[in-house]
A and B are shown apart, each in its own frame.
Chain A
Amino acid sequence: MNTRLQVEHPVTEAVHPGLDIVELMIRQGIAERSTPPNGGLSVDELDQARYGGPASFGEEHIHAIEARVYCENAAAQFKPSPGTLQLVELVPRPWLRIDTWVETGTLVTPFFDPLVCKLVVSAPSRPEAIARLLGALSECKIYGPPNNLAYLRAICDSETFKLGQATTTFLNTFTFTPCAVDILSGGLETTVQDFPGRYLGMGIPRSGPMDSIAFRAANILVGNSPGTEALEVTLLGCRLYFHVATTVAITGAPVKVTIDSKEVPMWARIEVPAKSKLAVGTIDKTGFRAYIAMRGGFPEIPQYLGSKSTSMGLGGYQGRSLTAGDQLVLNSNHQNNADETAFSKIAVAAPTYPDHWTIYCLPGPHCDEEFITSEGIKDFFSARWIVSSSSNRMGIRLEGPKLGWARKNGGEGGSHPSNIHDSGYAFGTVNINGDTPVILTNEGPDMGGYLCLCTVASAEL
């Protein structure tokens, strides 16, 4: 039998309720095999008229359109964009046929055609079919690496297509501008974070911005609610390309920010023109992280366990930091619509980033002579500690003097005096890991076998 199947066979089936072309092909194959040499289904069985036509809908005509959804980047020569589909929500409608193999969590690998689903609508008229397709393409959510849903919507919206004048050369001249920002370079670690992150316990990190004051300020400046998802940029900056005009604000550690090579201020609302490059340079003075908020946030970053923050390979954009070629969809409802009453600049309230910090802590839970001598406790609080280069979002490691242990070992907890039986850790606690104090931060563990000498006040974090 001929296994070739027309690409748009669901359209034929949609206008002939009850027709299943694949089933017919299989039955034809069986019939050929069982009645050689010239066997096959009877002409009668293959008559299209056997299957419902417009009349079975109570309509004079049926129009059907099929849209094929691919994980590919329409703004980058349709480059395949494999990755994990972090949210798949395909909304069923009586007039919509959904052929798919994907669900939330499906990994689209680079090894196959990145087709993820076919949406087939039917309606009594062509304009109605187009309207329904536009509706289906808008309400079906496939969040993950870039896909062509917005491109398909733009086609449905175009006059040429609506008027039925699209020919095979139509797409050659059809221009599509995604409402998105492209990552040209992600630097050391640029991630999507929101505030306050996840409050679930169970060792699921709280995540969220390391410098939540700067983060929230950036959101307020662009007119977002303070916890809206935004970018956290680490040390080496990042470079972004805006397809559309967008309101942004950059806050955090002092760093050079440019738009198309022209320097722009931090802690201020900035209008980035369409088709321009924004570059955050290397943080080379003090501080370690900067924040970029964009008006309306990133609507296509899905919530994972209640937050959009990137953590432990989960949440955020593909659970990882951003890298060249990634694309973040912006909120189209918010473009060119900045709220004039919002703050446009933060001057006096902007935090400073000194190179010597005094951090206010509350002693405990294990600030006790049972574990560390009173002299050792005094030394700990009076010492100058240096932030180690191996610090990260899990913890700030501190280098300094040896600790004055009161015990020889940790008893049943382990051979080192910093060992205790596994116990819960508070957020911001100063965990003594062997002889190294570590301030447990946003991606830190919530339980473990080292004692905690003091805990940083929440307002300091």
Chain B
Amino acid sequence: MDSKRPKVVFRERSFHKAGDSAILVEYGDLILDFELRARIHAFETELQRRDVPGIWTTSPCIRSTMVRYNPLAISQTDLLEALVSVENLLPASMQDMTFPGRKIIFPIVLDDRWNRDALERYSRSIRDEAVYLPSNIEYLARNNGLSGGAEEALTLLVNTEWLVFGVGFYLACPFLIPIDPRCRLVGQKMNPSRTYTPRGALGIAGLVAAIYPIESPGGYQLFGRTLSPWQTWGRGTNFNPEQPWLLFPFDQLKFKVITEDEYIEVEKQFDSGRYNFEIEPTTFDMAQYKTFISSMEGDIRQFKSRQAGGVINEEAREVELMRSWEGKRQAAKENIAEVIALKENITESTNAFTVKSSMSAVVWKIKCSPGDIINSSEDVLMILEAMKTEINVEAGEENVGRRVQEFGRDVKPGAVVHAGDTLVVLE
């Protein structure tokens, strides 16, 4: 056995070989390594060529691929055998391999107003002190020991080409890694995460960058905005209705800096299907990559050592900031508990008709005012938000004809209500 061959683990979903529907194939140690990722790509390429029945998709990412199969079409044992035999066909080392892919230019606005707005919302409504506030980009600079601050961080992020390691999570979100190791910035995930991130936002968590395909919650440290690699209706030459996504593993990305005004124009073109990404075929050459790496070993070592220092400092700061924020939150919770106790007393002491919350939620919008008369059982009095869903609070048949007197205690937009809390008091 060649000692250079990395260890591979076929994590079946069962140690009992009772078939189910996925096997996770993991390579090497728990580290990010282009050699390992190249091996996964070679493995997948060969697996596709073999056309093993029953496999409906594979999801490669940093150091593994999830092979999903239909257990009615192939047994776990047979599939495992097929996977092992494919792995055995691969050369011990990837160093002479080249992998065809595409190079795609993505226009990017750095430190854009949309992401800044998302972060401002976050610090207003979710958490107001954290190591990554008030600027994610300045945090990235500190966390990676960059003396040049935000500007240096952004320069590094656009100076490198990026390799697509995986596509998935939600709506073909790409997981990107800088090809130049001197540009591999690291950052923690926001904790708790944001409830809002604009479509096309670019962020970093751990070593990985992602492009948010649609407006969504998220926790990555945001540094810019580009076009989405997802086009819901498949419009334009780069998409089609059966394949509304653009990127595949081993595609390469390069960012081209544009202004906010240019972005607004480009986004319009994108939505109407008139935007054409600049795409050219390319190959990822392992030998070339290795030469590139060894030519700058000193630089990489220096970058990594500064980065390690930055991470230690920032982690320590975050522990303090987290403690302080949790303390404030605890105090607020105790306040709420007192208020709830008060509220219970009030509802018991009055005989008013009320509309109560059927669940724990946040008051999103109040749609009635004191004095309003309920005209129909379907009148919406309030909109609550829970499970990332808006919930209409309807008046109900029994309240038709009654007049809105007041709102429940502390009920206002943004307030947290619990199941059974009075939302609206009726005369």
Contact = CB atoms under 8 A, between A and B. Distances in A.
Interface in A365-420: 365-366, 389-390, 392, 411-415, 419-420
A414 B206 contact: yes
Interface residues on B, range: 35 or more
Nearest to A422: B61
B66 A314 contact: no
Contacts of A201: 56-59, 68, 168
Nearest to B247: A202
A458 B388 CA distance: 27
Interface stretch (A154-162, A209-217, A347-355, A447-455): A447-455
A32 interface: no
B26 to A, nearest CB: 8
A312 B170 contact: yes
A203 B59 CA distance: 9
Contacts of A392: 387-389
Interface string B153-176: 000000000000111111111010
A424 interface: yes
A372 B315 CA distance: 24
Interface stretch (A40-48, A116-124, A134-142, A182-190): A182-190
A16 to B, nearest CB: 34
A421 B171 contact: no
Contact of B214 (A312, A390, A425, A427): A312
B197 interface: no
B12 interface: yes
A458 B64 contact: no
Interface in B204-222: 205-208, 214
Interface string A146-185: 0000000000000000000000000000000000000011
Given A189-B389, A424-B61, A313 B214 contact: yes
Q: Of A189, A202, A313, A419, which is in contact with the most chain B CB atoms at under 10 Å from its CB?
A: A202
Contacts of A364: 11-15, 24
B387 A426 contact: no
Q: Of A236, A313, A412, which is in contact with the most chain B CB atoms at under 10 Å from its CB?
A: A412
Interface in A190-241: 199-205, 235-236
Contacts of B63: 421, 423
Given A189-B389, A390-B387, A424-B168, A200 B57 contact: yes
Contacts of B242: 305
B53 to A, nearest CB: 15
Interface string A309-334: 00011100000010110000000000
A271 interface: no
Interface residues of A, number: 54
B188 to A, nearest CB: 7
Given A201-B57, A414-B188, A105 B235 contact: yes
A125 interface: no
Interface string B48-72: 0000000011111111111010010
A22 interface: no
A143 to B, nearest CB: 13
B31 to A, nearest CB: 6
A446 B59 contact: yes
Nearest to B188: A415
B245 A202 contact: yes
Given A414-B189, A423-B24, A449-B206, A204 B389 contact: no
Contact of A412 (B188, B207, B315): B207
B47 interface: no
A199 B68 CA distance: 10
Contacts of A323: 392
B170 A445 contact: yes
B166 A447 contact: yes
A305 B171 CA distance: 12
A263 to B, nearest CB: 17
Nearest to A313: B214
Nearest to A447: B168
Contacts of A305: 242, 244
Interface string B220-260: 00000000000011010000011011000000000000000
Contact of B24 (A235, A365, A427): A365
Contacts of A236: 358
A412 B13 contact: no
Contacts of B175: 422, 447
Interface string B1-29: 00000000001111110101110101000
A362 B59 contact: no
A54 interface: no
Contact of A426 (B13, B207, B378): B13
A457 interface: yes
B31 A426 contact: no
Nearest to B241: A104
A321 B389 contact: yes
Nearest to A363: B15
A284 to B, nearest CB: 10
Contacts of B71: 458
A447 B57 CA distance: 13
Contact of B232 (A105, A185, A235, A427): A105
B368 interface: no
B32 interface: yes
A314 B231 CA distance: 12
B66 A420 contact: no
Given A423-B66, A447-B168, A413 B13 contact: no
A204 to B, nearest CB: 6
A310 to B, nearest CB: 12
A203 B233 contact: no
B264 interface: no
B80 interface: no
B11 to A, nearest CB: 4
B73 interface: no
A325 to B, nearest CB: 9
B168 A202 contact: yes
Nearest to A425: B66
Nearest to A104: B233
Given A366-B11, A449-B206, A423 B20 contact: no
Contacts of A449: 205-206, 208
B13 A424 contact: no
Contacts of B207: 412
A6 B56 CA distance: 56
A323 B56 CA distance: 35
Given A202-B172, A424-B66, A324 B61 contact: no
A414 B206 CA distance: 6
A188 B391 contact: yes
Nearest to B17: A362
Nearest to B165: A422
Interface string A88-122: 00000000000000001100000000000000000
Contact of B169 (A413, A414, A427, A446): A446
B83 to A, nearest CB: 14
Given A201-B56, A419-B206, A447-B166, 5 more contacts: A104-B241, A188-B391, A321-B389, A324-B392, A424-B66
30 contacts: A104-B233, A184-B378, A186-B392, A188-B359, A189-B387, A202-B57, A236-B358, A323-B392, A324-B394, A365-B26, A392-B389, A411-B30, A411-B31, A414-B205, A415-B188, A419-B206, A420-B30, A421-B31, A421-B32, A421-B63, A422-B62, A423-B64, A424-B58, A424-B64, A425-B66, A426-B21, A427-B22, A445-B168, A447-B169, A455-B20
Interface of B: 11-16, 18, 20-22, 24, 26, 30-32, 56-66, 68, 71, 165-173, 175, 188-189, 205-208, 214, 232-233, 235, 241-242, 244-245, 315, 358-360, 378, 387-389, 391-392, 394
What 4 A-B pairs come out closest when comparing CB atoms? A424-B66, A201-B57, A105-B233, A424-B59
